[in-house]
Amino acid sequence: MPKIRRLPTLLPLIEQGHYRLGPHVARHMVQEGFSERDLLEALRWGRELAVYPEDSRMLVLGYMVFGGRLKLPLHVVLDYSRPRWVDIVTAFIPDRPHHVYSRARLAALLRYDGGREELRWAVPDEAALKAAFGAEEKD
């Protein structure tokens, strides 16, 4: 059975920039209007809703906070199959924030809009990382 990893063990990797944004998450960022910074902050303060050990993935519920009052839920799917690395597979604003998706439903969500756009995996945006995790500049 694959190793189960927890969100607190993945956050330091994300904070160090050891993550990639997948094409599916990039598409939702454009369609739903959230940024990489919003995504990182939602992960930082989020909690695990479900862990799918057979796929080395987890579903995280976080919130995007606007103006200190308005909170929008954000579901984020992380893939932790690679050592010392996290792939952010997808993120979306859910209709039912506390609903846990089955593996089959999650796979269907990823296939549903697996369109033909030429989107590729992207490396972290340094400004978004610093804003979300408060990393200090290195000399």
pLDDT tens-digit series, residues 28-84: 999 899 999 999 999 999 999 989 888 899 999 999 988 878 888 999 999 999 989
What's the whole-model pTM score?
0.72
Locate 106 and state its tokens. Answer: 């999650």
pLDDT of 57 reads 92
Supply angle C-alpha 76, 82, 87, rounded to 5: 25
pLDDT tens-digit series, residues 97-134: 777 766 666 666 555 444 444 445 666 777 777 777 77
Residue in 44, 39, 18 with CA at minimum distance from that of residue 123: 18
Cα–Cα distance, 39 to 44 (Å, whole number): 9
pLDDT of 139 reads 43
Residue showing tokens 């189960």 = 4
Do residues 29 and 35 touch, judged by C-beta distance below 8 A? Answer: yes
Q: pLDDT at residue 137 above 60? A: no
Phi, psi of 38 (to 5 degrees): -55, -45
